[in-house]
Amino acid sequence: MTSFQLFSSSPFLCALGFLILVLVNIQLSLSNPDWFEHCRHHFMCGKFIAGYPFWGGDRPGFCGHKDLELYCKDDTTFMRINHVEYRVLNIDESAQVLKIARQDYLSGFCPPDEKLVDTTIDWTLFEYSPGYENFTLRYGVPFDPIACSIEKMEKHFNYTDGLISKVEFGPMIRFTVNVTVLKTFLQEAKRSLSGLEEALKQGFEVKWKVNGTEFCDKCIQSNRTCGYDNIKNHTTCYCPHQPFLPFQEACPTSPIGQPPQGPPDTSGKYLNV
């Protein structure tokens, strides 16, 4: 009996063979995504639209640098840098500048569990924009999450040049946190807690240093989409109709009978908000 006759005479084997084919196709689809189509999507959240080199939302990880993930909560955009959560205040893709503010200091001065972390950036990926300076916030009081609000702190604690203290505790420093503020807000930040609050709400700017921006522009102009090879650590260009060849720099011509794809939607590529 031939294999064809065997499957024809057995509905169970026929169904099993069909199921195997479906599973194989699903596995191939998952292991070989359409990089070109996926990376045509932009990250969208509230007022922000962001493309390369970011990823998150509808943009998979291969569309951007691994450390430039954006995520959305209640129409507000966030990201993490060195394990600290930041609220994204502005994205200027043309200048490659992010404006961010520490989320834990936007509602008070007591981050949870006394795990106070300095504001530090990944120097291989970012650099500070001009006009910003580190400021040391010093805690000379026991941690009290009930008193984190500005109103309660101003009522119950002394504040002088970055030191939050009480008279009965003296000048003892329990822990310190370095934050980044605009130089024009520095004196007010030293003078009062309300001034410090305003300085931190203003956030600070960093410039990202992902190589390959010019290459990405050429990639988009040639009706392709940009992504990032996080293994080889460089920008890459994804071609239409070539799901198995994602990391090439030059795309072959479109297959016979398949017209070239139009350029991706770049209406939000250089969004300033």
pLDDT tens-digit series, residues 203-251: 999 999 987 777 788 887 877 888 888 888 888 888 876 654 445 555 6
pLDDT tens-digit series, residues 44-76: 999 999 999 999 998 999 999 999 999 999 999
Q: What are phi and psi of 221, to 5 degrees?
A: -65, -25
Which residues is 207 bridged to in the sheet?
A: 97, 127
CA-closest candidate to residue 47, choices 19, 74, 20, 83: 74
Domain residue ranges of the chain, discontinuous segments joined by +: 105-203
The answer, yes or no, to whether residue 164 has pLDDT greater than 80, is: yes
Average of per-residue pLDDT values in the chain: 77
* Residue count (the chain): 273
The answer, yes or no, to whether residue 192 has pLDDT greater than 80, is: yes
pTM assigned to the model: 0.75
Question: Of 94-98, 169-173, 232-236, which one has max mean pLDDT?
Answer: 94-98
48-50 and 43-45 beta bridge pairing: antiparallel
